[in-house]
């Protein structure tokens, strides 16, 4: 007994997590290659890397979702095989996923207890959990009403429930996967306060993110992954965002968009008092008005789920709405037979949707079949009234793939075989090359690697400089600030205010994103 205790004491110096030579392949793809990592106890460790660099795979191995082909995991100095997530929980590892794993119509308490019940009867477990929850809330600023139903909570609170779930299972090591993607800046700040409190109590935290600002702000040490390998680990205070970005991409990158001042012309797209009520009877757009001028990029900022998606759907002809939209002073139909994607396209409105995998592309179709998607009625893609001109589409696709540097440049490859960045370039190539009057762009760089982001931003700016009107919806404030000329902030289906991008900052926009109304500039 004493021997064991002594060993335990020695181990407090050992790192909380130590990975040695982890490798994992999915078929021909080597997702993790000989990765070694050591995270000291009581620290916040950041892991950055582009999409597909292998971050998620590595964490899934650590949480027992995947089995590594080779390598060992040491928890607190002890070799710990993790064959499944039960073993991970037993080893004191908790995970907060990007997409929450909560039962929507259960209460906070029920969600916390789910899977960790003490016996067949629920009551004692719930009573115990309630006590623990109060205690945890007090200790870490994790206040949530235990009896609130999940679907009625804000996203930030739902995330706290996820953290509580992990802590309730007495996790000492907490892994957070892209935790701020859905949060307002102030919610994100609160999250980081929570994480720092947890660190103060000796918990170890791994933070996976692609936002370099958060790494700089919240972490003690940071590791960079690229192409399945751990390319560098360093103290956060010894590095800079620029350096991290270079390590991620493997070359110098422009973090700021290089663009000339806009020369706005006449208003092209005018939206007046747009209203939309969804099938559940919830009003999603509550009287939206704005205009987009020729030769400018209007940004729509806001936390995800405040009506931006619905706005894009209405403008793109996907959902019907009430109100008035004019294009060059000509009203567009908002409901009925003539309000559809085909009509919008022939009016010269191109749409790069937020969700390229569900809307913008057909994942099972080959690149060339996707390149005419939406424009399949265009005579240049057709032979006679019935047949499509497949060779012409193939040629057209090959040409566009070359111009947009889409790799691999094979028009016969299925969309699902391309990386996120190249999928996005497929959609952009299709929409931008139509030379539209108005380009609607939703989350153009979501899940896109830094190298491709640069290119995509350049293409959007080039279209602006050609005198076209661009409406850009993005939840990334950095993107809004660096790319747009004017910005409107949406909150709860309304526009809280409009600003000239160069005359505002993250703080002011952040307040408006949280629902504090800003007088129109």
Partner 1 sequence: MDKMPRWADVFLVPFINLILAFVVSGLVVLAIGENPFKAIWIMISGSLGSTSGIGYTLYYATNYMFTGLAVAVAFHARLFNIGGEGQAAVAGIGTALVLLAFDWPYWWLAMPFAIIGAAVFGAAWAFIPAYLQAKRGSHIVITTIMFNFIGAALMGFLLNGILKNPDTQNAETVAFPKGAHLPTVHEVLSPLGINFAKSAPLNVSFLLALACAVGVWFLLWRTRLGYQIRAFGQSETAARYAGIDAVKITVITMLISGALAGMLSINVVMGEQGRLIKEFVEGAGFVGIAVALMGRSHPFGIVLASLLFGMLTQGGFELMWDMPAISREMVLVIQALIILFTGALDNMVRDPVERLFLRMRKRKG
**Contact positions vs partner 1 (CB under 8 A):** 25, 27-28, 316-318, 340-345, 351, 353, 358-365, 369, 373-374, 376-377, 382, 386-388, 390, 417
Q: Which is nearer to partner 1, 52 or 317 (CB)?
A: 317
Q: Which is nearer to partner 1, 369 or 433 (CB)?
A: 369
Q: Which is nearer to partner 1, 331 or 391 (CB)?
A: 391
**Tokens representing 154?**
């804000």
**Tokens representing 288?**
């939206």
Q: How far is the CB of 26 from partner 1 (least distance, A)?
A: 9
Q: How far is the CB of 372 from partner 1 (least distance, A)?
A: 8
Q: Per this entry, what is the length of the chain?
A: 521
For residue 408, say if its preceding peptide bond is cis, omega within 30 degrees of 0: yes
Q: How far is the CB of 311 from partner 1 (least distance, A)?
A: 15
Q: Which is nearer to partner 1, 201 or 417 (CB)?
A: 417
Q: Give dist(CA 299, CA 22) in Å, integer.
A: 42
Q: Tell me how crowded residue 416 is: count the other CB atoms within 10 A of its CB.
A: 12
Q: How far is the CB of 101 from partner 1 (least distance, A)?
A: 24
Q: Give dist(CA 460, CA 466) in Å, integer.
A: 10
Q: How far is the CB of 312 from partner 1 (least distance, A)?
A: 10
For CA atoms 421, 426, 427, 432, the dihedral sign is: positive
Q: Give dist(CA 5, CA 1) in Å, integer.
A: 6
Structure letter (DSSP) for residue 414: B
From residue 58, alpha-carbon distances to 20, 123, 151, 230 in Å are 12, 38, 31, 10
Displacement of CA 113 from its chain's centroid (Å): 28
Q: Which is nearer to partner 1, 183 or 359 (CB)?
A: 359
Q: How far is the CB of 284 from partner 1 (least distance, A)?
A: 17
Q: Which is nearer to partner 1, 27 or 119 (CB)?
A: 27
Q: How far is the CB of 473 from partner 1 (least distance, A)?
A: 15
Q: Which is nearer to partner 1, 100 or 373 (CB)?
A: 373
Q: Which is nearer to partner 1, 248 or 359 (CB)?
A: 359
Annotate 348-400 with DSSP letters as a single string: TEEEE-S-IIIII--TTSBHHHHHTTT-TT-GGGEETTTEE-HHHHHHHHHHH
How close are the terminal C-alpha atoms of the chain, in Å? 71
Q: Quick one: the chain helix, strand, coil %, rounded to 5?
A: 35, 25, 40
From residue 184, alpha-carbon distances to 46, 64, 287, 446, 488 in Å are 20, 31, 23, 16, 15
Q: Which is nearer to partner 1, 360 or 444 (CB)?
A: 360
Q: Tell me how crowded residue 59 is: count the other CB atoms within 10 A of its CB.
A: 20
Residue pointed to by tokens 């400089």: 465
Q: How far is the CB of 364 from partner 1 (least distance, A)?
A: 5
Q: How far is the CB of 416 from partner 1 (least distance, A)?
A: 11
Q: Which is nearer to partner 1, 76 or 309 (CB)?
A: 309
Q: How far is the CB of 49 from partner 1 (least distance, A)?
A: 22
From residue 177, alpha-carbon distances to 155, 206, 211, 393, 500 in Å are 15, 8, 12, 40, 33
Q: Give dist(CA 202, CA 421) in Å, integer.
A: 39
**Neighbouring residues of 7: CB distance < 8 A, sequence distance ≥ 6:** none
């Amino acid at each position: 007994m004493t021997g064991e205790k002594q060993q335990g004491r020695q181990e407090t110096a050992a790192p909380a997590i130590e990975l040695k030579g982890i490798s994992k392949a999915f078929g021909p793809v080597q997702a993790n290659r000989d990765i070694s990592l050591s995270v000291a106890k009581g620290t916040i460790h950041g892991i950055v890397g582009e999409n597909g660099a292998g971050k998620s795979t590595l964490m899934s191995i650590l949480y027992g979702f995947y089995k590594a082909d080779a390598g060992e995991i040491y928890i607190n100095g002890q070799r710990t095989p993790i064959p499944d997530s039960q073993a991970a929980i037993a080893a004191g590892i908790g995970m907060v996923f990007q997409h929450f794993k909560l039962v929507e119509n259960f209460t906070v308490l029920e969600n916390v207890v789910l899977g960790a019940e003490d016996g067949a009867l629920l009551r004692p477990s719930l009573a115990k959990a309630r006590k623990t929850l109060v205690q945890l809330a007090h200790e870490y600023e994790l206040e949530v009403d235990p009896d609130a139903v999940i679907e009625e909570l804000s996203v930030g609170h739902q995330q706290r429930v996820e953290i509580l779930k992990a802590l309730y299972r007495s996790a000492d090591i907490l892994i957070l996967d892209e935790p701020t993607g859905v949060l307002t800046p102030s919610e994100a700040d609160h999250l980081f306060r929570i994480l720092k409190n947890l660190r103060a109590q000796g918990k170890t935290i791994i933070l996976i993110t692609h936002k370099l600002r958060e790494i700089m702000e919240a972490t003690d040490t940071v590791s960079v992954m690229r192409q399945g390998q751990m390319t560098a680990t360093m103290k956060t205070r010894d590095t800079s965002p620029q350096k991290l970005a270079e390590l991620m991409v493997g070359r110098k990158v422009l973090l700021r968009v290089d663009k000339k001042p806009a020369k706005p012309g006449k208003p092209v797209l005018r939206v007046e008092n747009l209203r939309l009520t969804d099938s559940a009877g919830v009003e999603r757009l509550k009287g939206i008005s704005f205009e987009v001028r020729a030769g400018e990029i209007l940004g729509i900022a806001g936390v995800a789920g405040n009506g931006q998606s619905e706005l894009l759907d209405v403008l793109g002809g996907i959902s019907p709405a009430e109100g008035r939209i004019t294009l060059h002073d000509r009203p567009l139909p908002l409901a009925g037979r003539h309000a559809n994607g085909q009509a919008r396209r022939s009016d010269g409105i191109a749409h790069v949707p937020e969700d390229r995998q569900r809307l913008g592309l057909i994942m099972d179709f080959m690149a060339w079949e996707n390149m005419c998607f939406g424009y399949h009625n265009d005579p240049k893609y057709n032979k006679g009234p019935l047949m499509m001109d497949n060779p012409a589409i193939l040629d057209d696709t090959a040409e566009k793939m070359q111009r947009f540097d889409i790799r691999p440049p094979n028009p016969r490859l299925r969309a699902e075989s391309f990386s996120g960045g190249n999928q996005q370039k497929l959609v952009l190539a299709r929409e931008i090359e139509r030379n539209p009057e108005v380009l609607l762009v939703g989350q153009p760089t979501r899940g896109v690697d830094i190298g491709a982001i640069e290119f995509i931003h350049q293409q959007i700016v080039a279209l602006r400089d050609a005198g076209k009107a661009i409406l850009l919806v993005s939840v990334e404030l950095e993107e809004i600030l660096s790319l747009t000329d004017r910005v409107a902030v949406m909150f709860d289906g309304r526009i809280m205010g409009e600003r000239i991008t160069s005359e505002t900052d993250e703080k002011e926009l952040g307040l408006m994103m949280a629902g504090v109304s800003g007088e129109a500039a």
